[in-house]
């Protein structure tokens, strides 16, 4: 897509949304046909402006969630976190009213503070350690890095990670039944009364999480080396964490911004001209990149802190590049980790990770898109690291036990500081060394048009339906419709050669399919892969008569 003329430029008044109207429409708009509850890879998302994220949605989701917990005998506390999006505040009130009415005990950050996604995951696992009953679970009210007008709601069961589709399908189906019945089955109590009840407990979630960071990151090494760390919280839910981290461990951390504003007026525009708090985008991160010479490592996170952006004096690192460096470092600097731990990556992450994993003698587990596929491995301590190309990852504690089973942007940021402290080289310098050893891949993602029937064909494709034998001048070595790491359907197609690959997946919301591609032979070869990829997909559409 074309880069917007103001991409990377500061937000101006005309870019800002009307927050009072956004909140008003949350309470007054009703779900329209086609705008019912829909759980994607990261929960239910939408906006009250178009009736896709309203009080009705959250009433129904929370009632369904309470019923699901009861059906599974989940009787422990539910940890509730929110980010700094405007709709998160309203959805939090709705959630408390419904969950308390259903007898669910809630633990929330004292003072109505914000709570990052990884902190909720960590709190669930900490509570549940050694227990077989009275297990905790949690929700995070966030649309992640999405624009200010959006809202989001996701559920983490007792394993601490994103809920799998068997859970979200159940909740989605029941929530939509409740909406269809005019919400007649929803229990609700008044918010103030709910908060004054014994079922809502305000707790400090910050210090316990911070105190435990030394079990996953070598904080002493960072402090001893005096690594200069810059942090731009991008107005997100981790805003109160960095000062506590600095004080607890004696780190040299400078917060470059402390502003929280639901319009996100302090941002620079993303590549399409929208306000989007994407910490992996050089356009959204332009402000922090401009300060790169001031710090050894600078860190940015999205509003719910499950993603990371790493800035070195060389600039913002590509997420794929940083994942490869993190894997190479962790598996060679964690002596207590088992030699049997696997490296987890999504199918659309860089093949540089494959080459790194092979070089350190570790098995690679390649899974479909979605962090949920790493949950079991992280929870059971069999997967040392799980990461996806969209800058989300987590890894085990230094002793090889589970830390979080959801993406943790805080530890990925601090890991960049540890790498710098321990090796004397920042992560970008480490990636340069990897390219000298394995080659320098080029990677991209584009969109191509696809009708509804065409998307259905692509999602259900059989590898034998692909007749092509070569791709961009090289023999095809793999045609995948199921992930090698776990045999799960990828909902699309991946085609590989020795020096390149592409993956095609239908969008769940738009009339397009996404093409991810990578080449170890340069930009010209990459463009050839993209051209032939679209031709291969078009042939499958033609053969299916759509």
Contacts for 247 with CB less than 8 Å, ≥ 6 apart: none
Task: Determine the Cα–Cα distance for residues 268 and 265; give it in Å rounded to an integer.
Answer: 8
Closest CA to 39 of 196, 216, 162, 205: 162
Task: Determine the Cα–Cα distance for residues 296 and 227; give it in Å rounded to an integer.
Answer: 6
Does pTM surpass 0.75?
yes
* Amino acid 462: pLDDT: 86
DSSP SS3 for 142: coil
DSSP SS3 for 36: coil
Q: Please provide the DSSP assignment of 364-380 as one string.
A: EEEE-SSGGGGHHHHHH
Q: How does pLDDT run across 244-282, given as a tens digit for each residue?
A: 999 999 999 999 999 999 999 999 999 999 999 999 999
Structure tokens at 62: 């929370």
Highest mean pLDDT among 36-45, 181-190, 510-519: 181-190
Question: Taking each helix axis from N to C terminus, what angle separates 55-71 and 86-101, rounded to the nearest 10 degrees?
Answer: 40
Task: Determine the Cα–Cα distance for residues 84 and 524; give it in Å rounded to an integer.
Answer: 42
Active site residues: 144
* Amino acid 40: pLDDT: 78
Element (H, E) at 418: helix 409-423
Q: Is the dihedral of CA 363, 369, 372, 373 positive or negative?
A: negative
Q: How does pLDDT run across 463-478, given as a tens digit for each residue?
A: 888 899 999 999 999 9
Q: How does pLDDT run across 154-167, given as a tens digit for each residue?
A: 999 999 999 999 99
According to DSSP, the residues that pair with 394 across neighbouring strands are: 386
- pLDDT of 34 strictly over 80: no
Mean model confidence pLDDT for the chain? 95
Contacts for 538 with CB less than 8 Å, ≥ 6 apart: none
Question: Taking each helix axis from N to C terminus, what angle separates 165-180 and 55-71, rounded to the nearest 10 degrees?
Answer: 120
Percent of the chain beyond pLDDT 90?
A: 93
* Amino acid 1: pLDDT: 60
- pLDDT of 32 strictly over 80: no
- What is the average per-residue pLDDT within 55-79? 98
**∠ at Cα 276 (271, 282), nearest 5°?**
45
- pLDDT of 227 strictly over 80: yes
Give the helix, strand, coil percentages of the chain, each rounded to 5: 40, 20, 40
């Amino acid at each position: 897509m074309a880069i917007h003329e103001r991409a990377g430029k500061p937000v101006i008044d005309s870019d800002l949304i009307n927050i009072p109207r956004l909140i008003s429409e949350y309470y007054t708009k009703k779900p329209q046909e086609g705008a019912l509850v829909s759980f994607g890879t990261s929960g239910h998302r939408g906006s009250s402006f178009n009736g896709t994220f309203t009080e009705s949605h959250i009433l129904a989701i929370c009632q369904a969630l309470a019923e699901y917990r009861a059906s599974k005998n989940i009787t422990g506390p539910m940890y509730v976190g929110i980010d700094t999006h405007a709709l998160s505040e309203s959805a939090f009130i709705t959630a408390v009213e419904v969950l308390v009415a259903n007898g669910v005990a809630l633990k929330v950050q004292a003072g109505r503070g914000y709570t990052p996604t990884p902190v909720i995951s960590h709190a669930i696992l900490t509570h549940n350690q050694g227990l077989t009953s009275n297990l905790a679970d949690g929700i995070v009210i966030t649309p992640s890095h999405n624009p200010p007008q959006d809202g989001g709601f996701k559920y983490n069961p007792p394993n601490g990670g994103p809920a799998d589709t068997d859970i979200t399908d159940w909740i989605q189906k029941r929530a939509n039944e409740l909406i269809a019945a005019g919400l007649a089955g929803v229990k609700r109590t008044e918010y103030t009364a709910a908060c004054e009840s014994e079922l809502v407990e305000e707790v400090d979630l910050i210090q316990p999480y911070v105190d435990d960071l030394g079990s996953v990151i070598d904080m002493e090494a960072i402090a001893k080396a005096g690594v200069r760390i810059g942090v731009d919280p991008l107005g997100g839910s981790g805003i109160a964490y960095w000062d506590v981290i600095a004080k607890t461990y004696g780190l040299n951390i400078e917060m470059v911004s402390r502003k929280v504003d639901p319009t996100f007026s302090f941002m620079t525009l993303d590549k399409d001209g929208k306000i989007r708090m994407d910490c992996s985008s050089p356009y959204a991160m332009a402000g922090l990149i401009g300060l790169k010479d001031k710090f050894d490592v600078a860190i940015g996170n999205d509003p719910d802190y499950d993603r990371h952006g790493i800035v070195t004096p060389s600039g913002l690192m590509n997420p794929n590049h940083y994942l490869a460096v993190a894997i190479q470092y962790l598996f060679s600097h964690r002596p207590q980790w088992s030699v049997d731990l696997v490296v987890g990556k999504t199918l659309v992450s860089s093949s540089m990770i494959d080459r790194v994993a092979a070089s350190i003698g570790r098995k690679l587990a390649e899974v479909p898109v979605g962090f949920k596929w790493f949950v079991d491995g992280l929870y059971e301590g069999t997967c040392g690291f799980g990461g996806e190309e969209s800058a989300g990852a987590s890894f085990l504690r230094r002793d090889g036990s589970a830390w979080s089973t959801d993406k943790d942007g805080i530890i990925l940021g601090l890991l960049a500081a540890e790498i710098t402290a321990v090796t004397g080289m920042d992560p970008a310098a480490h990636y340069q060394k990897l390219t000298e050893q394995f080659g320098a891949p080029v990677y991209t993602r584009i969109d191509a048009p696809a009708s509804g029937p065409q998307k259905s064909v692509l999602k259900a494709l059989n590898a034998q339906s692909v007749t092509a034998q070569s791709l961009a001048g090289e023999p095809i070595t793999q045609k995948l419709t199921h992930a090698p790491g776990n045999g799960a359907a990828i909902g699309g197609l991946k085609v590989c050669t020795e020096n390149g690959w592409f993956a095609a997946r239908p969008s769940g919301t738009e009339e397009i399919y996404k093409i991810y591609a990578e080449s170890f032979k340069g930009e010209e070869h990459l463009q050839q892969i993209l051209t032939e990829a679209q031709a291969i997909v078009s042939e499958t559409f033609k053969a299916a008569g759509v």
